[in-house]
Amino acid sequence: MMQCLPCCLRVLAIAWLVGLAAAPTSTYAYEADLGVLVRKSQRAAVKVYGAGGGGLVAYQSGFLVSPDGHIATAWSHVLDVEPVVVLDDGRRLNATIVGFEPRLELAVLKIDAGDLPFLELAESLPELADPILAVSNLFGIASGGEPASVMHGSVSAISRLDARRGTFKTPYTGTVLILDLVANNPGAAGGAVVSVDGRAIGMLGKELRDASAGVWLNYALPSSALREAIGNIIAGRTVVASDTESPPLPRDRSHHPESLGLDLIPDVLEHTPAFVDRVRADSPAARADVRPDDLILLVGNTRIGSQQGLRETLRRIDRRDRVVLTLQRGAQIVSVTLQP
């Protein structure tokens, strides 16, 4: 019986295509409609190119969530630089990172273009066994203006990842859609999972491997969990890119890492990540339990892309004010408040 199950799900995949058929007398009618859904998904899909190296690929996937050029994608190392986005029509555009939500491993990009095809985000979770398409640029197969890869399958489980915390190294602890297709490959993160009604029901997550069993997970973050964050980022209600508009305070009146008790790793790169090397005793950082190897992601609502970015942001905060840091500690996201 257990062995039968995946097989049944495959049969269901046919079922939904039959559901698409305009007229059952035309045996091939459903293919045309599947083609419509495939093209709709592909047209909203984008390729994202950014930082890579050291065994990490420099590309990932994303999809348009508004006609004005907002793109949902995975928050990852690829976005360590301002990324370049290639649309389905082959246009190659510079993108800005509008904001991101580390707990959801979500980032929203913006390109300067309008009237774009996009996918609506589903409000609720899909049902178990719902058939889906996954569209992404896995393995970077599609280059230039070539359309993204499309795969099919179904939602085989809807489950919380934190049910087995520690097994999967991810800061995301909410509900995920477990898929019956091998969707989460290098470059697939940020791709769209599309339902039969043409809405995005989820976003493919970064590759996750069961630490003990070595099994790779095929999953997506449900749109229902992403919608609000995406909306907030687009509306400017949440994390924003580094604030360089307001003037910095004089050096002796502003914060800097040392004033908080933070020694960072040597700043040797153009964009050295803001990793904590040492925490000085009896400092605000020590009292807030900041630890070596913590990565500083946010200061307040401002994204920290590098040590230089951290210093510039701290220069705009009065030394007498408290500082809220969002840290990545291993697979966890931690918020701490440093009281001077």
Partner 1 sequence: MKCCALIDSAAVARLIRTASAVALLGASAGGLPSSASGADTDSRNSAAPTAEVPAAENRPAVELDPRLEEAERRRIEAVERALPATVSIFVPGGGGGGSGVLISPDGYALTNFHVTSPAGTYMRCGLSDGRIYDAVIIGIDPVGDLALIRLLGRDDFPYAEMADSRRATVGQWCMVIGNPFLLATNLQPSVSWGILSGVGRYQYPAGTLLEYADCLQTDASINPGNSGGPLFDDSGRLLGIVGRASFEKRGRVNVGVGYAISINQAKNFLGDLRSGRILDHATLGATVATDAEGGARVSNILQSSDAYRRGLRYGHTILEIDGRSVSTANEVQNVLATLPPQWRVKLDYLDRGERKSTLVRLANLHGFDELLTKMAAALPPPPPVPDAPKPDDGSEKPAEGSGEDDQPRGDERPPGAEPTGAIPEAVAKLFEARRGYANYQPNRLKQQALVDALRRRFPPVATADGGEKVASTPGVVWRVEGVSDDEAARPVKLQIGDGSYSLIVGDRTVQASKASELYDGVLAGNASGLLACLEAWRALLVQGPAGYGECYYRGQVPLLGQRPLRDCLIGVAGELEAAWLLHPESGALEAIEVTADRDADPAELLVTWGTDPAQPPTHLELRYGTQSLLKLRVETWELGPTAEGQP
Q: What is the DSSP letter of 63?
A: E
Are the C-beta atoms of 135 and 152 separated by less than 8 Å?
no
Q: Is 304 helix (H, G, I), strand (E, B) or coil?
A: coil
Select 89 or 289, whichever has its Cβ closest to partner 1: 89
Q: Which residues bind partner 1 (CB under 8 A)?
A: 1, 4-5, 7-12, 14-22, 24, 27, 30-31, 33-40, 42, 120, 127-131, 133, 138-139, 141-147, 149-153, 181-183, 185-186, 195-198, 216
Residues 6+ apart with CB under 8 A from 218: 178, 179, 180, 181, 182, 183, 184
How far apart (Å, rounded) are the C-alpha atoms in residues 140 and 78?
13
* Shortest Å, Cβ 48 to partner 1: 18
Residue 2 beta carbon to partner 1: minimum distance, rounded to whole angstroms: 11
Which amino acid is it at 212? Answer: S
Q: Which is nearer to partner 1, 1 or 268 (CB)?
A: 1
C-alpha pair distances (Å), 132 with each of 78, 148, 174, 177, 271:
26, 16, 20, 11, 39
How many angstroms separate the CA atoms of 177 and 6, rounded? 16
Which lies closer to partner 1 via its Cβ, residue 105 or residue 130? 130
Q: Give min distance, CB of 152 to partner 1, in A.
A: 5
Work out how close the CB of 128 gets to partner 1 at its nearest, in angstroms, rounded to a whole number: 8
Distance CA 236, CA 301 (A): 11
Which amino acid is it at 50? G
The token pair that represents 31 in the structure block: 């293919």
Residue indicated by tokens 């994303």: 62
| Structure tokens belonging to residue 100 | 């991101």
Choose between 53 and 144: whose C-beta lies nearer to partner 1.
Answer: 144
The structure tokens 């990540």 sit at: 273
Helix, strand, or coil (residue 139) = helix
**At 309, which amino acid appears?**
G
Q: Residue 298 forms beta bridges with which residues? A: 303, 326
CB of 41 to partner 1, least distance (A): 9
210 φ, ψ to 5°?
A: -60, 120
Contact indicator for 181, 192 with CB cutoff of 8 Å:
no
Of 209 and 322, CB closest to partner 1: 209
- Kindly tell me which of 206 and 311 has the beta carbon lying closer to partner 1: 206
> How near is the Cβ of 82 to partner 1 at its closest, in Å?
21
* Minimum CB distance to partner 1 smaller for 141 or for 269: 141
Which C-beta is closer to partner 1: that of 161 or that of 217? 217
Q: How far is the CB of 339 from partner 1 (least distance, A)?
A: 45
